[in-house]
Amino acid sequence: MLLQTVRPNIVQSIRAYRVEDLMQAAQQAGQHFLYANMAQAQSKQDVLEGIADAFTFPVHYGKNLDALYDCMTDMVLKSGQQPGFVVVLEQLPDNPRFDRETREQLLDAFRDAADFWGERKIPFRCFYSFQ
């Protein structure tokens, strides 16, 4: 199984993995599959809004990195036992409005979420790619 070859709590480049294979692996493992295609996003705000729409965050979502972390951790934890997560952020922007520092801040929010779930022994794997 594909997920057995990937550490359970990690944020990494999608590299040789295909989105379809990751989705199927999540389904086979009974884990949540969260997918956001950011091909149209140009800025940090675009990315945060795109993630919120793709992951169906609540209307009160603050569209900032702290709110992103809260939606990926505490809010989900409060909804009950979780089987694990496979998250794919495809085609993150690579431009002056979404530069390396901004991308790293976004990925840090997902790394923090991976740590949060790791402390609870729940797998959280996040894969990303850039445009």
pLDDT, one tens digit per residue, over 8-24 is: 999 999 998 999 999 99
Task: Give pLDDT tens digits for 82-119.
Answer: 999 999 999 999 999 999 999 999 999 999 999 999 99
Distance, in Å, from the CA atom of 38 to the CA atom of 28, rounded to the nearest integer, reads: 26
Q: Inform me whether the pLDDT recorded for 35 exceeds 90.
A: yes
State the total domains in the chain: 1
76 — pLDDT class (breaks 50, 70, 90)? confident
pTM given for the model = 0.94
Residue of higher predicted confidence among 116 and 77: 116
Q: What is the CATH number of the domain that holds 73?
A: 3.30.370.10
pLDDT at 102: 96
Asked if residues 127 and 87 have their Cβ atoms less than 8 Å apart, the reply is yes
How high does pLDDT run on average in the chain?
A: 94
* Per-position DSSP letters for 68-125, written without gaps between them: HHHHHTHHHHHT-----EEEEEEEE--BTTB-HHHHHHHHHHHHHHHHHHHHTT--EE
Q: When comparing pLDDT for 3 and 124, which is higher?
A: 124
pLDDT score for 125: 97
Q: Which domain holds residue 36?
A: 2-130
Contact 32, 84 (CB under 8 A): yes
What does the pLDDT average to over 26-36? 96
φ and ψ at 130, to 5 degrees? -110, 155
Amino acid at 129: S
- Count other Cβ atoms within 10 Å, centred on residue 1: 8
